[in-house]
Amino acid sequence: AFAESGLEPAWYLRERSEEEILPWDHIDCGIPKTFFRQERQRALTGTYTPDCRTGPCSQCGVCDFDQLRMRLTATTAAVKALDTAAESPVSEERYKVRLRVRKEGKARFVGHLEFMTLFHRAVRRGHIPVRFSAGFSPQPRISFPDALPTGVESDAEIIDLELFQPWTAQQVVSTLNDQLPEGFRVLEGAGLPWQTPSPSACIREVIYRVELPPEIPVELPERLAAFLDAAEVPYSKEKGRQTVTVDMRPWVLGLDLADGALVLHMKQGSPTALTAHLLGLSPDQVRALRIRKTATALDQ
């Protein structure tokens, strides 16, 4: 990336001059730059800067000795106990909301773990009353779908939230959309019985649309028919230090060509690996294609 942009990384890693405008000089932390220069010189010479709470003033510039001045707090001051009751579930009632989430644009490069993290943070920032698991390390009761391959867009990421207060699905949708970053959006939501299985446990079919490259094999329709007629289709992949062979045929429910796109009807498995096999492309070539999950069908 540095080479393509014509940048020299060593320039960014060099020692900076004290007179140079630094990348963070626009941030005002309340202490003048001259004090930091003095502290740097003292650090280089190994000179100790005394603690101004117990020693002389260091003249850092924070105190104006009127409104701002160093103060000490008595160690006997009472510490107010945290009020955890307000954050605890008010009852044992359970409510579940199922969401359909879109992931597109640059967001398609966000991996599954990061996707889970940003969703947890959005729920927390929105103060959505999500239930937590019991035990030593409680976790929010949020059920995610199977991992979407990095680089694949989606209009059908299904996520379940278990709540301890009766929020409406629309409340959850609007609150999350106010907190989610660009490229992520909750398209719709619906309330469900809390006993409903998680999305990953009841997937019936997932549909992907693959935008075909300008040059495609002329025998592609025959390839699709041969794949569907085959009893098994072995696929080898590197897993750690060994090569693992799996059968792709059980992944696929149907294959179609429509409007310059390949439509994959899948039960499970990777759409990128299947696309590479059907089109005779390398993994890097497949990553350059636009692949989008368009629908997810769940067993009720």
Stretch among 29-43, 51-65, 82-96 having the lowest mean pLDDT: 82-96
Decide if 295 contacts 156 (C-beta within 8 A).
yes
The confidence score (pLDDT) of residue 243 equals: 87
The confidence score (pLDDT) of residue 271 equals: 93
The confidence score (pLDDT) of residue 77 equals: 54
Query: What are the tens digits of pLDDT across the range 76-121?
Result: 655 565 544 445 455 578 899 999 999 999 999 999 999 999 999 9
Mark 281-293 as b/e (b = at least 16 C-beta within 10 Å).
beeeebbebebbb
More confident residue, 293 or 77: 293
Stretch among 21-30, 202-211, 234-243 having the lowest mean pLDDT: 234-243
The pLDDT-based confidence of 288 (bands split at 50, 70, 90) is confident
Highest mean pLDDT among 149-153, 192-196, 258-262: 149-153
The pLDDT-based confidence of 300 (bands split at 50, 70, 90) is low
Q: Supply the mean pLDDT for the chain.
A: 88
Decide if 64 contacts 31 (C-beta within 8 A).
no
The pLDDT-based confidence of 61 (bands split at 50, 70, 90) is confident
The answer, yes or no, to whether residue 252 has pLDDT greater than 50, is yes
The confidence score (pLDDT) of residue 76 equals: 61
Across the range 163-187, mean pLDDT stands at 95
Stretch among 36-50, 80-94, 268-282 having the lowest mean pLDDT: 80-94
The confidence score (pLDDT) of residue 2 equals: 93
The confidence score (pLDDT) of residue 79 equals: 58
DSSP string, the chain: -HHHHT--HHHHHSPPPTTSPPTTTT---SS-HHHHHHHHHHHHHT-----TTTS-----S---SSSS------TTPPPPPP--GGGS-SSS--EEEEEEEEE-GGGGGS-HHHHHHHHHHHHHHTT--B-B--SSS--B-EE--SPPPTT-EEEEEEEEEEESS---HHHHHHHHHHHS-TTEEEEEEEEE-TTPPPGGGSEEEEEEEEEPPSS--TTHHHHHHHHHH-S--EEEEEETTEEEEEE-GGGEEEEEEETTEEEEEESSS-HHHHHHHHHT--HHHHHTS-EEEEEEEE--
Q: What percent of the chain has pLDDT over 90?
A: 54
Q: What percent of the chain has pLDDT over 70?
A: 93
The pLDDT-based confidence of 155 (bands split at 50, 70, 90) is very high
The answer, yes or no, to whether residue 194 has pLDDT greater than 90, is no
Stretch among 66-75, 164-173, 184-193, 223-232 having the lowest mean pLDDT: 66-75
Decide if 260 contacts 212 (C-beta within 8 A).
yes
Query: What are the tens digits of pLDDT across the range 6-16?
Result: 999 999 899 98
